[in-house]
A and B are shown apart, each in its own frame.
Chain A
């Protein structure tokens, strides 16, 4: 590679800095504004403003945001050679002024982050709003230093010219490489990737209880246990991770029983299971009578008839409690796991009133 080519690359690197810095500044400003708008208060803009007295935090947050917006815009409009050479509306001094101001801004930001890390190690830098919630670390400080260096390198450089042929590709490569380096130094990069690609796991999904009850009441499990269930009002209802459990009072072969249904937390076609458990004196914690398992709806369980359930009543309490996990009779599937696969499952809202009524009745009876 000739000296001339190396010089050309260095010039390209210097001139790419202005648009890179502009993108960073405008992006940071937009992220902060987005956070403030969502929270409905400027107080949401944390970060280095936590170093200031309470009264000064709000103005400081506004000033930081305004600086980012102004510097980003200034860097952007002074990128073309016309501004650089003084042949356009702006002269070269304006371009250098914007770049020097950006250098000063990033240096101040770096110092603020160092100070914040020392005095408030629990506070995130807030550089990119909601994405910057992790405590300030070395990476954030190094990023500010790198940006300050980049701004300084761009001072006095020529305007960004888009050469024909391979020169444009080289500029693009430099541009991408620099963003890659910045991304590696940014704790926010992981948050962005995860936000783009992640769906909500069932453990976190909010599904109202009435919808669960509606899906249950439509299922064939409910119809099969109808002869055992003695009341439409559940005696207990709880949610744990990906399943919601509903317990109804029942009677099997003259003995009181609990009919328990497990309904998967799923917006459509939830898996449903059921079992009849004969009533007995509840075991005292921490005696374990049954093994909890990670729900695995894909693995069906074999059926057990009600008669089999009843025959186990005479067994020991532990045995009874485990083995009365009976699978209802008459299931057309090899296991008791059922998917409420009818199209009506997807229109659960039409069945909400009975579910709501049952839920209200349960809450009322519990309150009494």
Chain B
């Protein structure tokens, strides 16, 4: 399904996910049916002072399409408005590799991490960055066709000659049936794979090893790798987490494999809340589960951004959430600990 995650047309996408409403409704019903009243016989008070809200604090990330780029000001168009961002000498950019912010062009799809200490100042900019993770379905001279799951469909990865060596080192088997996870540039609906996001698992996607026979700790707190994905059909600044272990029965059709993955994870649903902590920066955030991360279950890799994480992907974050938590998109992952909000 080439181009599914192509450029976000300027000011024409005001799609709301509806996940927040669904989550709120489910939490209300869950509380109604499970709440234990206090001694007076009344239901307990709400947890307004409970865990940090997913929307707490000023936004750390913004995203949109560049409509004007000057050496000092970047103007981007979002779903329903335009935003002007100041560029400082310290502002860095990525556009297929480290680049100067002046390399940004009109029409570039950018994700901007804002300077936390100064309002409206860009700290780091990623332009046209994309990621394709999934099972290789086909390979020919034109590129590699990857099945990225039911939600993201099939995507075509083109590996330019300059990146071939780098990718071949980490992904020696670019053959049907094997897994791939590549970060690159999206140019007008074409994805150019440039950076291997991990090392290729030695097993085929249909031969994923069974889960580890033991849990290394309580099930409500899991350590592993957090990766990122591009939101489908939504703006890039939408937050959320794709969770690898949704209850399969109510229609989580995004499951290319019957294997339950390498990590023993409890079942959750769309609308559940998960606290994700970046073990490298210490930042944490309470996020809503917005979708199924079936492909993430197939990987049993470790992240070595800071130390060596436990094996397995425990969270596939929306692009904006990954950046908000201090992740660098071109690195592909950070060591994470997730805590299930009960």
Contacts and interface: CB of A to CB of B under 8 A. Distances in A.
Interface of A: 35, 38-41, 43-44, 46, 50, 54, 57, 121-122, 124, 130-131, 133, 135, 190-191, 194-195, 198, 201, 203-204, 206, 208-209, 236-241, 243-245, 247, 258, 260-262, 265, 273-275, 277, 282-296, 299, 301-302, 318, 321-326, 359, 362-363, 366
Interface stretch (B31-39, B72-80, B131-139, B315-323): B31-39
Interface bin, chain B: 35 or more
Given A291-B44, A324-B32, A301 B37 contact: yes
Contact of A325 (B32, B172, B204, B265): B32
Given A130-B209, A194-B213, A291-B44, A236 B264 contact: no
Contact of A321 (B32, B212, B266, B269): B32
A190 B214 contact: yes
A292 B250 contact: no
Contacts, number: 220
Interface string B198-218: 010011100101101111000
A41 B207 contact: yes
B269 A238 contact: yes
Interface stretch (B18-26, B61-69, B98-106, B324-332): B18-26
A39 B212 contact: no
A60 to B, nearest CB: 12
Contacts of A290: 27-28, 30-32, 35, 43, 46
13 contacts: A39-B207, A43-B202, A122-B302, A203-B219, A206-B248, A239-B247, A241-B268, A245-B30, A285-B21, A291-B45, A291-B46, A302-B41, A321-B28
Given A277-B28, A285-B21, A289-B27, 8 more contacts: A122-B302, A130-B209, A198-B215, A209-B247, A239-B269, A244-B247, A302-B41, A359-B249
Contacts of B266: 201, 203-204, 241
A28 B303 CA distance: 28
B53 interface: yes
B43 A294 contact: no
A258 B29 CA distance: 8
Contacts of A50: 202
Contact of A121 (B24, B33, B272, B304): B304
B29 A40 contact: no
Contacts of B50: 288, 291
Given A54-B172, A57-B202, A284-B20, A275 B32 contact: yes
B248 to A, nearest CB: 8
Nearest to A293: B34
A289 B31 contact: yes
B140 interface: no
B302 to A, nearest CB: 4
A244 to B, nearest CB: 7
A258 B30 CA distance: 12
B31 A291 contact: yes
A122 B308 contact: yes
B249 A133 contact: no
Given A39-B209, A122-B304, A359-B249, A288 B47 contact: yes
Nearest to B268: A240
Given A41-B203, A190-B214, A285-B55, A293 B31 contact: yes
A120 to B, nearest CB: 8
A237 B29 contact: no
Most buried by B among A40, A245, A291, A363: A291
Nearest to A234: B250
Contact of A322 (B46, B53, B308): B46
Contacts of A326: 32
B342 interface: yes
Nearest to A205: B267
B150 to A, nearest CB: 13
Contacts of B35: 290-291, 293, 301, 322, 325
B77 to A, nearest CB: 26
Given A43-B203, A209-B249, A239-B267, A286 B53 contact: yes
B212 A133 contact: yes
